[in-house]
Every structure is written in C-alpha cells, then in structure tokens.
Amino acid sequence: MYAIIDQNGKQYKVTSGERIKLDTPLEDGVDTITFDRVLLVGGLDGDAKIGAPTVAGATVTASIIGQTKGKKIVTQKYFRRKGFHKKIGHRQKYTEVTITAINA
C-alpha cells in the first residue's frame, strides 16, 4: 500500500517502512507525527482512492528519527568593474522520519 501526502506544499509518495526527509524541522520532544492531508491512497492490486482534495479519514503516521543537514550550497554574487565579490553558503535542515502505518 502506498499514499501521497502533502506536507507544507510538497507532495511525497510514501510506503510503509520507508524513510523520507521533510524540509521543515519539527519541534523537539515529539516522537511521532501524523499526516492528515492524504491526497491519494493506492493498493498493490491497482485500485486507488483519490481525494477531492484529500481522502476522508485517511492518515499516515511516522516516527521521527532525527534532524539532519543537507549538502552545502555555495552561491556567489559578482558585479563586473565594481570590485564586488560576495560568497554565500547555505545548508538546508531536514527532519528524517520513518513511515510506520498508512491508515485508509
């Protein structure tokens, strides 16, 4: 069984036991999270429940593994003939979760 969930404007296709990285860091002290915005629930035999916009009564539960950081992205600004150089770095913070159950 698989599901497509919506988390802060981004859609993730998840199955039970899968590990995914969410863009938004969640608050500390929370062990599990429940996603109630389930857009689609599909089975292995090909049938699917499509929501309008969400599937009624469907939830996805996940356990939080921890916070991680992504790869460092370096950008540079440069204006020609002005002597201006600026180097900016950024590392995105992620929350890594494991999908424990899909309740349809």
Beta carbons within 8 Å of 80's beta carbon, 6+ residues apart: none
CA atoms within 13 A on the CB side of 28: 1
What tens digit of pLDDT does each residue of 11-61 get?
999 999 999 999 977 777 789 999 999 999 998 777 888 888 999 999 999
C-alpha angle with apex 26: 101 to 100, nearest 5 degrees?
10
C-alpha dihedral (91, 70, 30, 99), degrees to nearest 10: 150
Place of tokens 């950008």: 75
pTM over 0.85: no
Total domain count, the chain: 1
How large a percentage of the chain has pLDDT more than 90? Answer: 74
Which residue range is the domain that position 69 belongs to? 2-103
